[in-house]
Amino acid sequence: MTRVLREFGEDKLLAQVFPRLNRNSRVVIGAGDDCAVVKFRDAKDWLLLKTDCVVERVHFTKETSAHAVGWKAMMRTLSDFAAMSGIPEFALITLAIAGKKKASSVGELYRGLNRAAARFDVAIVGGETGETAGPTVIVVSVAGFVERDRCILRSGGKANDDLFVTGELGGSIRGRHLRFVARVDEARWLTANFKVHAMMDLSDGLGTDLPRLARASKLGFSIDQRALPLSPGCSIQQAISDGEDYELLFAISPRDRMRLEKLWRKKFPKLPLTRIGKLNRQSAISDQQLPRGYVHFRQRR
């Protein structure tokens, strides 16, 4: 890994397709960040929009309880709201499912969706059910808001910023990926008390997601791998590559470091906050010693 850290698959697809997507005058941030940011009529706050999906045999198995699948499908999208310091408010569900499965599992699935939504006072305001001959697909689309001065993008990182992550990394597949709680409260506390420069949620693994944040900020990064907060029993490699952590990664001035660490311990005594490295002026396409995380549609070479 002394060569360029290239990203294949979804990022490349997006880079080729998304610049040509239709826009209009109300779009603040289109595709590419955790949520889309748009102006809604005469409202002062911005409207945030996000959609995400979970697919049978990719994000869950036939053995996963329908309730857990519903919880995960909802929380994944809410995690993207946390990443922007946004408040999720309304969710729409689309379910493509085999006709024969419906009766036995749709109710449980919706109970899981419902419970996860209720955790953040999100209303489920619509649901479409379509039939498919294939694996179940659950799409959760959420609308919400963020105050203009509290909206945190991936692109705002500054050289010399400290990089922090919440929680522990790696091993999510052992169970956490089905029962995590999106870091909405933590993100809102951060932006209520600090000037966070850039933020995102870790869904594909630090090895994939950190380069995205750095690239969006047009910066490089350095990481102290020994500092990474490892989940019990996980290696550094796993912490970097497993993915599905749904923790926050954010960049903040080193001037805020001491106050942040002190106030965090007081506010969230059970949740680790770890400084893992820094943003710097190296080229974003750099030779960081960082194995890659999970990438959808990895291209064959």
Give the C-alpha separation, 288 to 279, whole Å: 12
**From the CB of 208, what's the least distance to a copy of itself, in Å?**
15
> What residues are paired with 131 via a beta bridge?
97
Q: Whose CA is closest to 45, among 76, 91, 87?
A: 87
Closest CA to 138 of 77, 83, 84: 77
Choose between 80 and 168: whose C-beta lies nearer to a copy of itself.
Answer: 80
* Helix ranges (DSSP H) in the chain: 10-17, 66-83, 102-118, 184-193, 206-216, 236-241, 257-267
Helices marked H in 120-223: 184-193, 206-216
Q: How far is the CB of 35 from a copy of itself (least distance, A)?
A: 8
In the complex, what is the shortest distance from the CB of residue 131 to a copy of itself, in angstroms, rounded to a whole number?
A: 6
Minimum CB distance to a copy of itself smaller for 2 or for 22: 22
Give me the least distance between CB of 146 and a copy of itself, in Å please: 10
Nearer to a copy of itself, 129 or 283 (CB): 129
Quote the least distance from Cβ 34 to a copy of itself, whole Å: 10
Contact 186, 121 (CB under 8 A): no
Given a contact cutoff of 8 angstroms between Cβ atoms, the answer to whether 135 and 98 are in contact is no
Contacts of 52 (CB under 8 A, 6+ apart): 73, 76, 77, 80, 139, 140
Closer Cβ to a copy of itself, 33 or 162, answer by number: 33
**Cβ-based nearer residue to a copy of itself, 23 or 255:** 23
Q: What is the rounded CA–CA span in Å between residue 288 and residue 108?
A: 44
Q: Which two tokens stand for residue 136?
A: 């179940």
Residue 109 or 260 with smaller CB distance to a copy of itself: 109
Nearest-approach distance from CB 74 to a copy of itself, in angstroms: 10
Give least dist CB 121 to a copy of itself, A: 5
Count of beta carbons in the 10 Å neighbourhood of residue 160:
14
For a copy of itself, which is the closer residue by CB, 36 or 200?
Answer: 36
